[in-house]
């Protein structure tokens, strides 16, 4: 009887572990889900860009790959840098292009930057391109020059949940 109970516990443990961790192993390790990775709350977009958050209650951040530097007028060559999208609200991935939106404004930034804060972003990691836009119209015009219209926006929490459960997202090469 003890042997049967022990086997049952082992089988249930294995079943639990395999149901919580996706068994997908991608050819590019960047796209693999690993429960022990830090931070655990992350999902890949296009190598090397990923969305991260410190805790499940924290807002999502999106690293841009390249920093966008903005010169602050009427200053002694002071600059403000966007190295990521804080408080990411939505994003889209189309082929090799990452698009993102956030209504966040850095309240610690210079007044000029606060009044002209970028909310819309485009990153093309393979081409080392990162652009920021103040308005949706500017953003739409730019992505149309890339041949993109009507991006399929996603919410970070939903993308993370899908990635954690399946190890796949639509833009990951091995998931198509």
> Is the predicted pLDDT of residue 162 greater than 80, yes or no?
yes
- Cβ contacts of residue 55 below 8 Å, gap of 6+? 41
> Is the predicted pLDDT of residue 141 greater than 60, yes or no?
yes
The larger pLDDT score, comparing residue 102 to residue 16, is at: 102
CA distance 161 to 152: 17
Which pLDDT band, with edges at 50, 70 and 90, does 172 fall under? confident
CA distance 112 to 7: 66
> What's residue 144's pLDDT?
97
> Is the predicted pLDDT of residue 65 greater than 50, yes or no?
yes
> Is the predicted pLDDT of residue 30 greater than 80, yes or no?
no
State whether residue 81 is helix, strand or coil: strand
- Global pTM? 0.81
User: What percent of the chain is modeled with pLDDT above 70?
Assistant: 77
Which pLDDT band, with edges at 50, 70 and 90, does 37 fall under? low
Instruction: Read off the tokens for 105.
Output: 């404004």
CA distance 107 to 140: 26
CA distance 97 to 143: 9
């Amino acid at each position: 009887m003890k042997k049967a109970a022990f086997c049952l516990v082992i089988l249930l443990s294995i079943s639990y572990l395999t149901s919580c961790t996706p068994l997908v192993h991608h050819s590019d390790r960047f796209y693999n889900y690993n429960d022990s990775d830090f931070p655990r709350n992350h999902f890949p977009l296009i190598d090397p860009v990923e969305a991260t958050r410190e805790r499940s209650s924290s807002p999502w951040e999106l690293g841009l790959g390249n920093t966008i530097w903005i010169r602050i007028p009427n200053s002694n060559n002071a600059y403000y840098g966007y190295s990521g999208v804080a408080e990411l609200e939505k994003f889209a991935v189309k082929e090799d292009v990452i698009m993102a939106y956030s209504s966040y404004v850095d309240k610690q930034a210079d007044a000029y930057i606060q009044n002209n804060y970028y909310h819309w972003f485009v990153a093309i990691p393979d081409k080392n391109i990162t652009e920021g836009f103040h308005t949706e119209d500017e953003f739409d015009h730019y992505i149309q020059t890339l041949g993109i219209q009507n991006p399929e926006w996603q919410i970070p929490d939903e993308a993370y949940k899908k990635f954690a459960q399946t190890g796949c997202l639509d833009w990951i090469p091995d998931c198509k």
